[in-house]
Amino acid sequence: METLLIVDDDVSLLETLTMHFEDIEQDGQPRYQVFTATSAAAGLRAAQENMPSVVILDMMLPDRTGLEIIEEMKGLCGDARIILVTAYHDMETTIRAMKAGAFDYIHKPFPDPAALDLVVERALEYRQLSRRADEVHRENPVVRLGDIVGTSPSMQQLVKEIGKVTGSAATVLITGESGTGKELIARVIHNYSYDEARPFIGINCSAIVDTLLESELFGHEKGAFTGAVAGKPGKFEMAEDGTVFLDEIGDMSLMLQAKLLRVLQEREFERVGGVKRVKLRARVIAATHRTLSDEVAQGRFREDLYQRLKVITLFIPPLRERREDISLLVTHMLERINEKVHKRVTRVPQEVMERLTLLPWRGNVRELENVLTRAVVLAPGDVLRGDDLPTLEAPPGPDAHRAPGTAGAMFAAPAVDDVSLIPTLEEAERQLIARAMAVTKGHKGRTCQILGISRPTLERKLQKFGLAQGQGPQVHPYPVKDAS
């Protein structure tokens, strides 16, 4: 018989749950012996006296919160699993609860008693599997949650997993499509893992040529190669006892994969051209939009490194699989975008929100932010206009869902099947920049926002295409849709 302690100030709920669990039998015998308490103090006393296997603990109690007593409860109950219960959907509290060592975090009213039964049974199963383990979970102060937005089941599960991951220094692999926010998740893990501020060093493995990536990661000594006029520490060294974030690790060459594997195994490395061993003190978080198991099968990624990375894997669901989060994301992003572009677009008509919810969002959260940024920049007042959003009728294809003003929507398809009318990619880019400059009346900052590029990149392309100030945009005769 398992001992179950339920701590909740709702007396009627206590009676209902007590009857429910006492009616459950196993092999003809009662499965649970149930104890109850209506306050934090009474719950702690009951825990000390009865040594429960599982505790169902309400978040809001008359004298203290569930979060405040979870450490004491764990100390009194040994390896008991604690399930926190609340009527509030609070994402930050969810992370804090999971980080503090709660087995699970569920909301009431319970949709189905069977759902609660499943959580309790799973808690008992995990308790049986880890009876020999001496698990110590210490709650760290919250740094900040970041910009994780969503109440969908998949995001709630992801938040719970993040809370568990922050309690260790293990290497983490974050997977998900491009634009889902893998770096954001990495930063949240970093922020919640430490009491004090520590370095977060990110590097995009696909953005640096292979010959320089090794130097970027491990540093180099003076004279190690042509141009190395002085020694330079690498990202691993600069991260000190913080976090190194390796984005798009699936694009790393096999040679560097071998070196990274050795570093992760030995927790030491050498600068390029050096002989001194440097200790790796930082935590490593990697991310990729590729399916690494497929890359291993194709011989493009080392299986031993994949096995080393995938011990803790977090998957970020694509936006199209959590459409219920889109309205929350829109509200959240509009606040940030308004501040960035100095506008006050705060009203979103229902039909506009419905269209945003139905769009395919192949570029995920990043695409949503780019579309909203463009719409805010072009909005004449405080209302987000449907005219500035992508259309649902766009044909399939990588660019079909983009907002008017981006390459996929600005250039109309030829009326006849004449290949000669299709511009080259370079000409299409030139026309796109020219049209964006025309829409913003030459405002380079807003042009960068619409195109999703940096100011230096825009300046280089203006010079390249002869669109710099004083030269004037020269629009190709190929038909272009008006972006206004």
pLDDT digits (tens, 9 = 90+) for 354-402: 889 888 899 999 999 999 999 999 887 788 888 888 865 443 344 444 4
SS3 content of the chain, % helix, strand, coil (to 5): 45, 15, 40
Average pLDDT of the segment spanning 26-38 = 88
Q: For residue 106, which of 394, 117, 202 has the smallest C-alpha distance? A: 117
Residue-level pLDDT at 385: 84
- The stretch 210-229 carries a mean pLDDT of 81
C-beta of residue 425 within 8 angstroms of C-beta of residue 404: no
Chain-wide mean pLDDT for the chain? Answer: 81
Average pLDDT over residues 451-475: 71
- Choice between 415 and 134, residue whose per-residue pLDDT is larger: 415
In this prediction the pTM is 0.57
Block residue for tokens 């096999």: 254
pLDDT, position 408:
38
Most confident of 101-110, 111-120, 188-197: 188-197
Residue 250 DSSP one-character state: G
User: What per-residue confidence (pLDDT) applies to 130?
Assistant: 56
Specify the range with the lowest mean pLDDT, choosing from 125-129, 336-340, 391-395: 391-395
pLDDT of 284 above 60: yes
Q: How far is it, in rounded angstroms, from Cα 297 to Cα 255? A: 17
User: What pLDDT does residue 134 have?
Assistant: 33
pLDDT at 297 over 50: yes
Give the pLDDT mean for 165-170.
Answer: 87
pLDDT higher than threshold 60 for residue 233? yes
Can you give the pLDDT at residue 337?
A: 93
- Could you tell me the two tokens for 242? 């913080």
Rounded to whole angstroms, the Cα distance separating 320 from 402 reads 15
Higher pLDDT, 475 or 3: 3
The reported pLDDT for the residue numbered 407 is 36
108, exposed or middle or buried, with CB in 10 Å at 0-12, 13-18, 19+?
Answer: middle
User: Which pLDDT belongs to residue 397?
Assistant: 41
The structural domains of the chain, ordered by start, are 2-129 (3.40.50.2300), 153-315 (3.40.50.300), 320-464 (1.10.8.60)
pLDDT at 289 over 60: yes
Residue 361, pLDDT score: 92
H helices of 3-90, in order, are 11-22, 40-50, 66-77
| Closest CA relative to residue 164, chosen from 182, 188, 148 | 188
